[in-house]
Amino acid sequence: MWIKRVPVNIAWVALIVGLLSACVAAPADDAAMRDTGTHHETDADASHAYVVRHRLHTGLALSADLLKDSPLAFVLALPDEADYYEIGLGDEVYYQLPRASTSQLRRNTLAARAMLLPTRTVMQVMPLSGHPKDLPHTDLAPLQLTEAELTALMDAMVATFAHTDAEAAWAGERPRQWFFHGNRRFWFRYTCNTWTAHALTEAEQASWVVKPIRAGAVMRPLLAR
């Protein structure tokens, strides 16, 4: 029996590690990460809000103009000024692991822990060095939002920040990377992609019977428009 169960166990470990690795995929300003997707000239060029996919991870990018006078305006006080800010959620420990100095064994162990046990979260905010369409990404989906939909999107996003003060942020290891404590628990039923999907649902941009945990499921209805 044990031998027969080995492939299944290996498959589960691979799935767990893969899903959590999604939520440490750095946004576009990380020079070490080069997504292979290309930008398609569509409504994205006229939008100020985007869903950004970096391989298995998704986040939301909003222009500084949209953030002004909003519940998320506090991110504008971060030391790195930008025209766009990308925001995402991840496991507190795994999301901040130093890439170069962390062994694969430790990464896998912490990945399994975070996916199987509800763990603390952090919110990552990246003041981007350019427009989202001009930075590396796997997929990019523009959002055309009414004022009410934008308000709903931002309310859902800010609700997962434990503190809404730039002084509560700390710098990550990558340039232009900042973290805030989150108030949700991370596990395989609530990942970075679940967070993105929830915000999109609140803004009536997409809906799912079950909130997705994979990046592809988040992007599919948006790219099909």
Q: What is the pLDDT along the chain (225 residues), one digit of tens a residue?
A: 443 443 445 454 555 555 555 554 445 444 334 454 544 434 444 579 999 999 889 999 999 999 999 999 999 999 999 999 999 999 988 777 777 777 888 777 767 766 777 889 999 999 999 999 999 899 999 999 999 999 999 999 999 999 999 999 999 988 999 999 999 999 888 999 999 999 999 999 998 878 888 999 999 999 988
Between the alpha carbon of residue 111 and those of residues 13, 16, 67, 183, the distances in Å are 9, 7, 33, 19
Quote the pLDDT of residue 44: 45
Rounded Cα distance, 111 and 101, in Å = 16
pLDDT at 114: 65
pLDDT value, residue 67: 97
Is residue 154 within 8 Å of residue 69, measured between CB atoms? no
Task: Provide the pLDDT for residue 72.
Answer: 98
Which of 34, 16, 15 minimizes the C-alpha distance to 138?
34
* Token output for 103: 């062994």
**Alpha-carbon gap, residue 161 to 121, rounded angstroms:** 9
pLDDT value at residue 28: 44
- Its pTM stands at 0.81
Return all residues near 2 (Cβ < 8 A) that are at least 6 apart. none
Q: Residue 101 to residues 26, 46, 76, 90, 106: CA-CA distances in angstroms?
A: 16, 41, 31, 20, 10
Selection from 124, 92, 131 nearest residue 196 by Cα: 124
Rounded CA-CA distance 19/25 in Å is 11
